[in-house]
Structures are given as structure tokens and as C-alpha cells.
Structure 1
Amino acid sequence: MAREYPKRPTLKAVADRAGVSLATVDRVLNQRSNVNQHTRERVLTAMAALSGNIGHTAAVPFSRAEKTLHYGFVMESGIAFIQSIQTAIAQAENSLTGLNVRLHSYTMPPIFNLPAFLQLLRQAAAENDGLILVCREDPAIAACVNQIISEGIPIVCLTNDLSDIAHLGYVGVNHVSAGRTAGHFMGHYIGDREGEIVLVVSAPFRSQYERELGFRRILREEFPNLTIRESLNNCDRDEESYQNLSELFRNGIKPLGVYNLAGGNVGVAKAIEEAGWTGDIVFIGHELNADSYTLLANKQAHVIIDQDLQTETMTAVCTLLHHHGVVHQAPSLVPATPIITIRENIGMQTQPGSTPLFFRM
């Protein structure tokens, strides 16, 4: 029999779930001002989860799986980003207690190897009832994914979509919007000065393609005083970020800004600091974690563009659960809005590692 979420949660329950004060919950529910938008969304989502309303509207019944369902997260990305996802996976599994669902992680070593990754994909497919992927674009990966899907294993892409695959869908942010947001802040921080911007990239992730597309387009449309000099590849590693930027700086090049589309934010900040240019070079990056949080607090980064990994991870799992008839209403897969964090609002954000899980079933 389908079970309904409990109704009418107390303010304290909502506050505990969202990780905020009772006063904040009261301000949100009574539509008062002085509440950060991200905090407001956390409170509303916590209220929805406790009330049984995804999207704050419709009740979502669920059933316990008749057999144990195993879902595998197959991931290759920067070390810090994978650690953040693994934290979200652990919290998601904790909230699935009683539904007869198990979550498993499959990760690559820091140095990517295509044959090894394809083997990892096939292994995960053989051991699970569904897969959630975080990986780069590659024709061989797309072919392998489609073969796995044709064999009856449903797949969802998390944080980074793949082209030309028959998956259930993509869960993550609108990365073109994220890139345009980065360009907007870059242009406004720099002002009327004319000069160059350095892009730092890593692997051929679709998310990075889309970020760069949005960034280049808004610079072209609104900030013609800024040009992009070149892209430096950092392999999502701090060491490469530091070495490549330091070499560029030693060659006498001082850009007005650095936009890191990938991981490795600490290495970028270290290179800028050792050159003596902290504060002079506008630094915008992605992924709010313990390291980037510190960079913002210490004025070593200007803007960090983030995404809600916990909600996204749970949405990806719920998409598979809906496919298997456990969740009776399909989650919305509309790409989310990027989360913007600057030094002036980090006190309104929950420090990475302590954010509560938004959905509890």
C-alpha cells in the first residue's frame, strides 16, 4: 500500500531539517524580507519534504521496494567534487532507510583512463539495477552507456549531461546560465578597464562547454572591453592550476580576471597570491566546498558558483525509484538555477559538510 508523508510539520521540525533558526522559518513562511534566496528555498524544500510535497505542491506517495534495489554512482571528476557527491550519497542513503534501497560508489583514479572507465561502467551495470553518471563526453562512453541502457539498466546523468544517449534524464543546473552569471560578475567587478581574461578548464565535460559558451557570449554582448586570452588545462587538480598559471604570470602576463570552469580553485588562488596580485585579479570559480569557502572568507576569490548537490543527488535517486515504481510521481528534471556565493553572503549559507538533506522518505 502506498504511504503518505506526514502532514503539517512543526516549525521546529522544519528548522531542524533546513538547518536554520525558528525565526528564519517564521520569516520565510510569512514572506518577510531579509532572507537569502538560497536559505528561503531550503526552508520551503524542508517544509515540502516533511509535508509530502515535492515542488511545494503535490503529495508524493511511495512504496517499499519488493526486492533490494541497488543503484550505482559511476563518477570521474576532480577529487574534491567527487568527495562532495559522496557526502551527498551517504546522506541520501540515510534518508532512504526502510525503502529497501542501497547506493554504491564507483570512482576513477585521479588520472583518467578511457578503457578503465568503460570497464568500470560495465562492472557497475552488472552489479546494479540502475546507474547515476558523472563523467565527460566521449563517443566510446556514449556507445557503452547506450548498450547498457539497451540491456535494461536505466541511467540518469548527474551534474553533467551526456549527448546522444537514451537516458532517463539529466539532474543538475543550467550551466549556460552559470557561465553567463560568471561573465556578468566578471564584467562588473572589472568595470571599464580593458584587458584579458584567462579561462582554466579541465576535461571535455559538457558542463564546462556550456559554462564557457555562456561566459563568452555575455562578454561579447555586454563587455567588449574584455577579451579571452587562452584556456589553461588543469585536469581538475590544484597542482596543475598552480603550475600553469604561475608559468603564465612568470612570462609577464597579468590578466584582469581568471575564470576557473573546473576544479582546482586552491591552486588558482595560490598562483595569484604568490604573484602578489590577490584582489587585483578577479577570480571566479565553481563548487562551494570547505576550500572555496575559505578562499571567499579570506578574499582570495570573488565569486563561487555552486549547485545543490544534496537535492540533485536525491532527485537522481528518486528518478530511478520512480522508474522502478517505488516513488509514484516523477521528480522534476528542469535544470536548477546556479547558486551564487560571495564573501558578503557566506554567513547566510550553510558551510559545506553540514547542510541537511532536504528529502526524507
Structure 2
Amino acid sequence: MSNRPTINDLARAAGVSTATVDRVLNGRASVRPETARRVYEAAQSIGYHAAALIGHRVHSDLPRLTIGFVLSKERHSFSQAFKRAAEQAAIHAPDIRGRAIVEFSPTQQPADFARLMEGFAGRVDAVAAVAVNHVEVTTAIERLHAQGIPCFALCNDFGQGTRDSYIGLNNMKIGRMAAHMVTTAARTSGKLAMFVGGHRWHGHELRETGFRSYQREFAPEFTILDTLVNLETRQLTYEATLDLLSRHPDLRGIYCAGGGMEGAIAALREARQPREVALVVNELTPESRSALADRYVEMVIGTPLNTICRNLFTLAHQARASEGVPLPGQTFLRPDIHMPESI
């Protein structure tokens, strides 16, 4: 006997009657779009055999919207989580047949980001990227605009005054939050260190500014060392952290404003006891979760990727449906905060 879900199982999962499911399946009478979508999502979740057919019924009359994403660091867990969030946002975007095409820049060079962004021309309705702030990227946006393709900056702002909108965290505030936690968690006054991925990452520059602003205002007993560029790489961060620990025995805290935190965590595990140096990092990954549990990390500031991608599809749909109506220049989202006792 087959154990595959029945129409009755689907009706229960969707919270509707079997008659409603029948109407969705056969298109015999009108069903509210939100109800049809709920039936479709329930069909997917329980593995109903006609889920594809329901999806076709639900989406057949909706306009298509394809967004091209340019990300970096393909092997990083954060980047893969971003890709999954983009694809899920496309599936669940209301009132459209969404699609996400995700490509990864092989390097952090501006030319690579610009090449991939322009390469979406003729294939997508909008472009969104996590990219460095550089004239080559701005020029790529201008060329896409000339073809009627809006462009969005995600997480790290770029092309200010040219791109259509920025969606992400308020990076100045993120830097201040990090400084607050580092200086609060440090047991005594001393020195603080900070890593940024590079000076073309506008978000990292803002986080550094916020970090230093907070220290000047509320923690003048601490001294911030010169900011270190780690190119968001584990090995470079590892070696630089070990060097910091050997040269500055009074080092009390570290903030990794971008990637490469795995190297700082590894160095602290090797050279210090838990909580001897207060470490704050960004993004919850297997490594940062483990370091939280072991008290080598005091706080993880997470990016709400699902919310970013949902907002992106909404804004891109508005940009296409309301041509000429300006979009919000910035959409700031609340960060996800993870502490040792919250994981």
C-alpha cells in the first residue's frame, strides 16, 4: 500500500477544505491567490505528488521576474546560505513568478564584479550584488541602466547615487555594536584590534568608523591599533592574529568586520584561554557557532539573508511595475544577534 500523501493530507496541511484543493488542482473555480499559494507550499512541504501541477496553476498567470545575483567567496558557508536565501525568495515571492540566477566572482577585483554584473544584460530583469565600491562597478551600473535594468547593492553599499537601492544592515551601527560588546566583555583596559576585508568594501569602512566612534565616546581607556586588511582569508587572519597576540600581550579585544574570522578563532584557540580576548565576528557559521559555545567568541552579528532577499524581490517588482517612481535609497534591516547562551 502506498504511503504517499493524499488530497486529504494536503487539505489538512494547508488548512483548507478538500474542495478548495480540488479547485486549485483543476482550476474549476477562482481561488484567492494567497490560498492557492498556501496549498502549493503545503504540497511542497509534504511531498504531494501533484505539487508541480499546483505550482503551474498558481504561477501561470503571474508576471515573471528574474534577478541576477553577483556574490563572492563561493566556498564560504555565508555565500552558500545567501544563494539558498535568494532561490527561496524567488520561489515564495508574492504576485510574481520569481527566479534567481546566482554567480560568484572569482576574485574581489572590481573588474570581475563589473564583468559579471554586465553579463546579466539581456538575461535578467534586475541585478543585485555584494560588490566592492569602485568606478568600474559604477560604470557597469550605468551601462545596465541604459538598458533599463535596475541595480541593487546588498550588504555592502556601492555606486552611491547610481545604484537604485541599498538593502542590508546599517554598517555604522554594526561597528558601534561591536565596539560596545568588545569593550564591555574585556576584563581590563588595553588594546583593541580590527580586521577589514579591504578598503574598497564600503560596509567595512563604515563598521570601522562606527567602532572607532564608539571607543572615543564611551571607552577612551582602550587603544585601537591600526586596522588590518585580511582580504577575508582565513590564513592571513590566522597569522596576523598570532602576530598581534605575540606583540601586544595587553590585547583585550578583536573585531572581524568581514570574512576570515575562522583564522582569528583558530589563533585564539591556540594561544589563549576562552574569554582572555573578547572576539566579535559577523555571520553564524559552524565555526562561529562552535566558538560561541566554547566562549572564544562573545557575539556574532548576523545578516538576515532571507529578509534581504524578500525585500529585494519586492523592490525589483516595484521598480518594474512603477517605472519612474523612485525607490527608497536605503533599506536598513535589524541584525540577528547571537550570544553564547542563545545558540
User: What is the TM-score normalised by the length of structure 2?
Assistant: 0.76
Q: Structure 1: which amino acid aligns with 2:169?
A: V
Counterpart in 1 of 2:129?
133
Q: Name the SS of the counterpart of 2:96 in structure 1.
A: coil
Name the residue aligned to 1:30: none
- Aligned pair in 2 of structure 1 residues 334, 144: CA closer, same or farther (>3 Å)? closer
1:188 to 184, 189, 199: 184
Structure 1 residues 292, 75: CA separation in 2 closer, same or farther (over 3 Å shift)?
same
Rg (Cα) greater in structure: 2
- Answer yes or no: is the 8 Å Cα contact 1:2–1:63 preserved in 2: no
Distance 1:122 1:73 in 2: 11
Q: How does 1:35-54 map to 2 (within 5 A)?
A: none
Q: Given the alignment, which residue of 193, 198, 205 partners 1:198?
A: 193
Post-superposition offset of 1:143: 1.9
2:242 maps to which residue?
A: 246
Cα gap change, 1:3 to 1:322, in 2 (>3 Å): farther
Aligned-partner Cα distance in 1 for 2:329–2:131: 22
Q: Which moved more, 1:287-296 or 1:249-258?
A: 249-258
Deviation at 1:267, TM superposition (A): 1.0
- Tell me, what secondary structure is at the counterpart of 2:275? coil
Q: 1:335 to 1:321 in 2, by over 3 A?
A: same
Decide which of 269, 272, 275 is 1:273's aligned counterpart: 269
1:155/1:237 CA distance change after superposition, 3 Å: same
Letter in 2 for 1:310: N
Task: Tell me if the contact between 1:65 and 1:101 (Cα under 8 Å) persists in the aligned partners.
Answer: no
Q: Which has the higher contact order (CA 8 A, sep 6+)?
A: 1
Any conservation in 2 of the 1:3–1:63 contact (CA below 8 Å)?
A: no
- The code of the aligned residue for 2:34 comes to Y
Letter of the 2:300 partner, please give it.
Answer: I
Correspondent of 2:333 among 326, 332, 336: 336
Separation (CA, whole Å) in 2 of partners of 1:206 and 1:335: 15
Supply the distance in 2 between the matched residues of 1:155 and 1:174 (Cα, whole angstroms): 19
Q: Secondary structure at the match of 1:262?
A: coil
For residues 171-250 of structure 1, the aligned pairs below 5 Å read 171-190=167-186, 193-203=188-198, 204-250=200-246
Tell me the C-alpha RMSD between the 2 structures.
3.0
> Residues 188, 97 of structure 1: CA spacing in aligned structure 2 closer, same or farther, 3 A cutoff?
closer
The CA deviation string for residues 320-360 of structure 1, in whole angstroms up to 9 with x for no partner, is: 1122239xxx89953122222110122xxxxxxxxxxxxxx
**Does the residue aligned with 1:245 lie in a helix, a strand or coil?**
helix
Deviation at 1:207?
1.1
Q: How far does the alpha carbon of each residue in 1:163-184 deviate from its partner, in whole angstroms, 9 at most, with x for none?
A: 4343331111111111111111
Q: How many residues align?
A: 290
User: Aligned partners of 1:228 and 1:77: how far apart in 2?
Assistant: 28
In the superposition, relative to structure 1, how do residues 150 and 206 fare at CA in structure 2: closer, same or farther (>3 Å)? same
Structure 2 distance, partners of 1:170, 1:99, is: 22
User: Which residue does the alignment assign to 1:142?
Assistant: 138
- How far apart are residue 97 of structure 1 and its match? 8.8
